[in-house]
Amino acid sequence: MASSGYSSFTLYRDAIIGIALRKLRVIQDGQIPNAIDINSGNQALNMLMKNWQVQGLILSLYQQIAVPMVQGQSVYTIGPVSADLVIQRPVQVLDGSFYRRTVSSVVTDTPLKLLSRQAYEQISTKSVQGSPNSIFYAPTIDIAVAAPLYPTSPSIGWGTLYIYYNPINSTDVVYINTRRAVQDVIDGGDEVDLPQEWFMPLVWGLAAQLADEYEVPEDRCNRLFKWAEYYRKQLQDWQHELADVNFAERRQQEERVMDNKEPA
């Protein structure tokens, strides 16, 4: 018999929560979680994915953003509401960003150095115009004074990108490599913002997260934690192996470590 020809298997929020609860023996096969179980599972699921996000485990969150330059403007806000660039606020800017200048149809890309806050603050000539060669990104959730209430809300706040030197014209573009925020799961039919290979770590990780809430026996808790860590580490190791073949990215990381005199 031929294979299906499909690779679109997915799990929705309530299915993930149900599988995790079955592993906890909270519900049996064929049972449906009640509203309280769904609410607890939903909160734990979102918190788990946010935690994986800050660990840098989810490669699908990487994206490149184009920031059009404005002559003489060195500070650009990035966020979903009233920002210079209206998109989802990046949580981190990574190595590999570059400045693209176009002169008489000739396009030139120049790598940008990613600065720390301290290094950027120590620049004494921030107002000088020229071709940008460095950037600093502050992911703090800021918003205009005239904006609505709750100015630090992630749903409306923005991050801030600092450019050095000040752009000399308004035709060039800075491309920044970023890590965006993982999307929330809200409704029962929502898909998680993760690739298929994360379904197994997600189910076992969620079960481990919920174990204390349901007073699961200690021996079963230990098994859940071990399986959760096994699947998470398995996927993490697989991702690292893929990353190691990217020699250019590896070289940039090594050079950055040397520039900052940090231990590898």
Express each pLDDT in 62-74 by its tens digit: 899 999 999 999 9
Mean pLDDT of 241-262: 50
Measured distance CA(224)–CA(82) in Å, rounded: 45
Mean pLDDT of 218-246: 81
**Which pLDDT does position 203 carry in this prediction?**
96
**Which pLDDT does position 262 carry in this prediction?**
44
**70, exposed or middle or buried, with CB in 10 Å at 0-12, 13-18, 19+?**
middle
Mean pLDDT of 160-168: 93
pLDDT higher than 60, residue 242: no
Q: Name the average pLDDT for the chain.
A: 85
pTM of the model: 0.76
Question: Which neighbouring-strand residues pair with 68?
Answer: 173
**Which pLDDT does position 235 carry in this prediction?**
84
Which band of pLDDT confidence, cut at 50, 70 and 90, is reported for residue 150? very low
Measured distance CA(183)–CA(202) in Å, rounded: 15
pLDDT higher than 70, residue 251: no
Structure token pair of residue 245: 């073949």
pLDDT higher than 70, residue 184: yes
For the chain, what percent of residues have pLDDT higher than 70?
Answer: 85
pLDDT higher than 80, residue 83: yes
Which band of pLDDT confidence, cut at 50, 70 and 90, is reported for residue 39? very high
CB 84 within 8 A of CB 171: no
Cα 174 to the chain's mean position, in Å?
20
pLDDT higher than 70, residue 7: yes
**165 cis-preceded (ω within 30 degrees of 0):** yes
pLDDT higher than 60, residue 256: no
SS (H, E, C) the chain: CCCCCCCCCCCEHHHHHHHHHHHCCCCCCCCCCCHHHHHHHHHHHHHHHHHHHHCCCCHHHEEEEEEECCCCCCEEEEECCCCCEECCCEEEEEEEEEEEEEECCEEEEEECEECCHHHHHCCCCCCCECCCCEEEEEEEEECCCCCCCCCCCCCCCEEEEEEECECCCCCCEEEEEEEECCCCCCCCCCECCCCHHHHHHHHHHHHHHHCHHHCCCHHHHHHHHHHHHHHHHHHHHHHHHHHHCCHHHHHHHHHHHHHHCCCC
Q: What is the pLDDT of residues 97-111, one digit of tens each?
A: 999 988 888 899 999
Structure token pair of residue 147: 């904006």
